[in-house]
Chain A
């Protein structure tokens, strides 16, 4: 039984067909990479899976952890174990990371019928997650994503991921705008998360460099809203050499 099973998925935005006939199976603990040229529909897929109101899934099916993803609201998808690390994380002025994360964690635990995380335990875990990401502890009390650099915002997404411990984390260009140290920290955190909680990952990236630190199970090439080729990690190296020229969607 797959954790995520997408069958013949078609997605529209503003009446424009962005994605069609998309099939994807992800098992628990797997790392899947999606690469592809700009405008191929990678971010659309990430956002649509999380339930962004801008996108409509017009046909096909999406099963996630025994649930029909398409009938769930965004917050229900989150509590079912889906997480999205945003390409452009939003600023929430006046609301601290601590506030958002503690509120979210309580909701998750309640949904999973688990006891609330104690304040002290929450503080311990968040501090550790910040340290792992090379962020100062004061990020906890600062307004979320406000006055943070692009790289800091990406690392803050990873902090949230570490606390919420999803079943499947979708990372939308987590590696863009981050320096090499942060990149390594992010990759290490992904592998650690997979090892401790069997979290699966769907990672959208433009670059080979993140893959150097990861052990992906599958690499998919997405062109014009379709997955045109899937393979092992070597596929990424091939792409690095040849580019996307040779890949065309099926008619």
Chain B
């Protein structure tokens, strides 16, 4: 699917690059100079910055101010709560070759994916065909060319000054529906790209600042909610136009040559600053943190092809290497194979994920751009889920793998910060940003083909820090400016009533400091005859561990009650569920009866039919914990009990806190008993413990015979086949015979 490089040396029109070069020549030169000199575009001296630091800063402030303003204005055009309320849009300014210069806030993952899309257009010779002219509009949502998934639609406007391309203004928003066979923006259970819906592959869709009517017609017929798509398209274009005019003004004021010098210097400047930060805040070394994700498609047997309706497990052995030479390398060697599911990723998506992680950890400041990306190196082995050798894989929900994958980087960086003493920056990675509630069908507004993607998972609990608990209902890994939106906004879109939206007790991982809590919403299908709905989040496995002895946040489960007695209950004013709270003492089970109760760990699956008055639970994840539970301040445990965040029966079991509940419901701790209990638990740990040698000896046989379930065996087999290095290390670690293999297909 990666387009061939087309040779534009014999162009029929004058080149639009600088100094008579073609864009291809500029991109090639940029890449060559980075390799040859180690500096962006070979800029080893920041002359403008050194000679006139004030002017340099002024240009920066004007460019960035323009882009932040563009986002604020454009936001108002969108009709979708995903954009307007949750803020799922982002703008960036790029060099002619596609390197980002400055960016707005928002879904920053796309700062680099849009860079890849521009590079694709340059490599594919768009300069000659279809041509790049002032007022042209290009659109892309193809992950193979530069995107995470096709729900994120990007717009590109070239910025041309006196015939030369001086940059690109680009913007991206997340759409509500992508016109796939299943409704909503991130279909689940699709097995190839041909089921992913509407994909626009870096296409020219407008001229003279106007969208072509034929393209608008295509949208109208291709997706279920064209109205949102078209208004979002207008929103992106308006933002890009504001940015473009701002850049042209800066060029008029500062002169073209200064502008050209500036944009290269500022990228190199950020590259150097990234390395200085790395040197300041981390300790060189190799940091390894594996992560996993379940793909339990056996639940969808009969709805998917046989080869796809199987259980599998994603393997992401993330290795982060920080060199004494300030190299920053991310290596996914050992990742297993792509699959017949919607969670495959492309290198472009992985780079987007990296960008998000860096902008929140090593470079959380207003001077971010692609310089940071250029200071990093990547290995996404070919054939794995992170770089499939099949260009037709499905990608609709790449984040399902990306999020677990990058927990390793957050853990690695946090470990490095701790080693250096920057403990305030430590965070125990992110939870998976689910449950993603999606669905469609005839809706309450009279649309027979409604589709909706609820984005309240954009406010998950955040993970614990080294010095305090995580924050409840706060953010998402892909958007630090998280929000869950108002109930009254979502009900405009979805034929489902909110019966409740509550903090979810126990959802944050335990530890000396616990993860921030997630929340849960109980929905009632309402004002529609039928509606398909699906879940998406981790169900069978913990995607990663907590940090320094902390527990991971709770995994999810799905819980729906169908053909319910809700109508009768309401008529008789009997209680109905407004929360679930405790799966072992479920409020849903207690307060609604139905012919079918779905309650299991199959947290994502193909769309499931529901009818009016069915009840559906959505669990939004909590963060992971940091440190040993037995070190948690007793007062914090008591406070959690009194707030209802911790169930009474776990205070002693988890934290060794002996507490009693008074007649008024208030909990108090018995400090002496707690001290004794904790001492006893520590002793018991010693008794239970064994040396690594003993443990490995006990497990080695199991590993050699692969006495695991089929998903685990399949995962190891794939990693074994794809990477000789992984194979060598695995065999050596477990002291297996050199010719050991994980066996053949089951």
Q: Do A and B bind each other?
A: no
Residue ranges of A at the interface with B (Cβ–Cβ < 8 Å): none
